[in-house]
């Protein structure tokens, strides 16, 4: 299982939101590129980048910061937030982003996910954010009636290369991930599934390691606040390999 540090961008700065609420943000750094270097130096093999301004508005607003991160580190980068057109996908790929995350558009227009997955094989990830088992969109401000597991199976049929599953109720709360919901998600598809939301300690990592087929886990607030040591978490996943 890969431990994936998150860099959430708002106004060009690294921030964390509480349960996805824009008004509940904490600024952790005004230098995203240096933050990326820090996580890479601790052994991170992948960094998860979200353009929060883009997620809320539908228009990317932090491309300069994403460019700076790409120049700063030589590891896999995945990015999302406001990616709702073919031009936006192409733009990130041209910047050297390895994997592009489709969220709102994946839930609203599966055919778009299918088209992008065929055009960029192995590089399109579906972001499924769930509240009470239902998919949420537009930076989590809208909940759809779609069942998250059904959406995951749909994304698999569309050719997505993986799924990032976030339990909104857990995100930024430092209360531990939703293990059972994540287990159900990992069991529902044969795609790589990455868990997100609520990870706050090494114990949470141990619990996630019990989920068969879980490919990765994204952590944000915990590594910024210091409740989780990124290097220790990465080391834990490599034990017994």
Active site residue 8: yes
Of 8, 51, 171, 204, the active-site residue reads 8
Give the single-character DSSP code of 211. S
Q: Which residues are CB-contacts of 199 (< 8 A; sequence separation ≥ 6)?
A: 176, 177, 205, 208, 217, 218, 219, 222, 228
Helix, strand, coil percent values for the chain (each to nearest 5): 40, 30, 30
Which of left, alpha, beta for 19 (phi over 0: left; psi -120 to 50: alpha)? Answer: left
CB 134 within 8 A of CB 107: no
In sign, the C-alpha dihedral spanning 99, 101, 106, 112 is negative
Active site residue 129: yes
Of 51, 53, 129, 171, the active-site residue reads 129
CB 22 within 8 A of CB 63: no
CB 230 within 8 A of CB 39: yes
- Alpha-carbon distances, residue 120 vs 60, 104, 116, 160, 216 (angstroms): 20, 19, 6, 10, 21
CB 14 within 8 A of CB 35: yes
Tokens 């580190």 label which residue? 73
Q: Which residues are catalytic?
A: 8, 129
């Amino acid at each position: 299982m890969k431990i994936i540090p998150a860099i959430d961008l708002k106004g060009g700065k690294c921030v964390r939101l509480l349960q996805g609420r824009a008004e509940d943000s904490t600024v952790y750094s005004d230098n995203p590129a240096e933050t990326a270097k820090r996580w890479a130096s601790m052994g991170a093999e992948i960094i998860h980048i979200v353009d929060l301004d883009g997620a809320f508005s539908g228009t990317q607003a932090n491309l300069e910061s994403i460019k700076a991160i790409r120049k700063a580190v030589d590891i896999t980068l995945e990015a999302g937030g406001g990616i709702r057109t073919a031009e936006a996908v192409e733009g990130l790929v041209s910047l050297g982003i390895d994997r592009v995350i489709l969220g709102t558009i994946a839930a609203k227009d599966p055919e778009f996910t299918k088209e992008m997955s065929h055009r960029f094989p192995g590089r399109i990830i579906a972001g499924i954010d769930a509240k009470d088992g239902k998919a949420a969109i537009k930076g989590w401000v809208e909940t759809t009636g779609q069942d998250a597991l059904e959406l995951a199976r749909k994304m698999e049929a569309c050719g997505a290369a993986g799924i990032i599953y976030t339990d909104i109720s857990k995100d930024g709360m430092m209360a531990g991930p939703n293990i059972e919901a994540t287990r159900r998600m990992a069991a529902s598809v044969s795609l790589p599934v990455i868990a997100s939301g609520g990870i706050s300690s090494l114990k949470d990592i141990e619990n996630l390691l019990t989920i068969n087929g879980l490919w990765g886990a994204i952590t944000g607030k915990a590594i910024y606040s210091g409740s989780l040591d990124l290097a220790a978490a990465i080391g834990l996943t490599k034990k017994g390999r």
